[in-house]
C-alpha cells in the first residue's frame, strides 16, 4: 500500500514537471513544445492587446518559427496512441508539412514586423499566426 502511494506521488511529481535525465520521447517533446508555443503566443497577444512594445515580440515569434520547423520530425509514424494526433498526419504527411511551414512563414513574418516596430502590422499578422494554428488543428488534431 505504501509502495503504491509512493508510486502515485512520483507520477504526480513527474507530471508536474520534475526534471529527469533520460531522453524525452517525441510525444513529450512535441506536447511540451506546443505548450511553450501556446504560452509564447498568449504573451504576444497580451502585449498587442495592451498596446505594449511590439519590439519585445521578435524573440517569442522567432521561437515559434523555429519550433514550427521541427514539428514534422516530432510526429514519427505510430506516435498517435493516447494523443490527439489524428491518423491524417501520416496519411497526408505532405499536407501536415505544409501546415507546419504555414506557421513557420507566418511567425517569421511576425518576427520581422516586430523587429521593425510596426505595431499595426504586428496586430494584423498575429491573426494570421492564429489562423495557421487553427488550420492545422482542424485537419490534424482530434478534438
Ligand atoms: C502543423 C500542425 C500544427 C500547428 C501549425 C499547430 N499545432 Fe498545435 N497541435 C497539433 C497537433 C497534431 C496536436 C496534438 C499533439 C498530441 O496530442 O501529441 C497539437 C496540440 C497542441 C496543444 C496541446 C499540447 C499538449 O500539451 O498536449 C497546444 C496547446 C497547441 N497545439 C497549441 C498550438 C498553437 C498556439 C499553435 C499556433 C501558434 C499551434 N498549436 C500550431 C498540430 C499543430
Written as tens digits, the pLDDT of the chain (143 aa) is 555 555 555 455 556 678 889 999 999 999 999 999 999 999 999 999 999 999 999 999 999 999 999 999 999 999 999 999 999 999 999 999 999 999 999 999 999 999 999 999 999 999 999 999 999 999 999 99
Measure the CA–CA gap between 74 and 11, rounded to whole angstroms.
24
C-alpha cell at 51: 498596446
Ligand 1 center to residue 22 CA distance, Å? 24
Is 129:64 a contact under the CB 8 Å cutoff? yes
Q: Which residue owns the Cα nearest ligand 1 atom 3?
A: 136
CA of 3 to the centre of ligand 1 (A): 36
Protein residue whose Cα sits closest to atom 29 of ligand 1: 35
Assess contact for 120 and 110: CB atoms under 8 A: no
d(CA 60, CA 40): 6
For 132, counting Cβ atoms within 10 Å of its Cβ (0-12 exposed, 13-18 middle, 19+ buried), the class is buried
Q: Whose CA is nearest to atom 6 of ligand 1?
A: 133
100 CA closest ligand 1 atom index: 1
Q: Decide: 74 and 24 in contact? Cβ < 8 Å.
A: no
Amino acid at each position: 500500500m505504501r509502495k503504491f502511494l509512493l508510486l502515485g506521488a512520483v507520477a504526480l511529481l513527474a507530471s508536474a514537471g520534475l526534471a529527469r535525465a533520460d531522453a524525452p520521447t517525441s510525444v513529450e517533446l512535441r506536447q511540451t513544445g506546443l505548450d511553450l508555443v501556446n504560452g509564447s503566443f498568449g504573451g504576444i497577444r497580451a502585449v498587442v492587446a495592451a498596446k505594449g512594445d511590439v519590439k519585445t515580440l521578435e524573440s517569442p515569434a522567432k521561437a515559434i518559427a523555429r519550433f514550427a520547423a521541427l514539428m514534422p520530425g516530432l510526429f514519427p509514424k505510430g506516435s498517435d496512441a493516447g494523443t490527439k494526433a489524428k491518423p491524417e498526419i501520416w496519411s497526408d504527411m505532405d499536407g501536415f508539412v505544409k501546415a507546419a511551414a504555414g506557421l513557420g512563414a507566418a511567425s517569421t513574418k511576425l518576427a520581422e514586423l516586430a523587429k521593425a516596430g510596426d505595431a499595426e502590422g504586428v496586430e494584423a499578422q498575429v491573426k494570421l499566426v492564429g489562423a495557421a494554428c487553427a488550420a492545422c488543428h482542424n485537419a490534424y488534431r482530434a478534438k
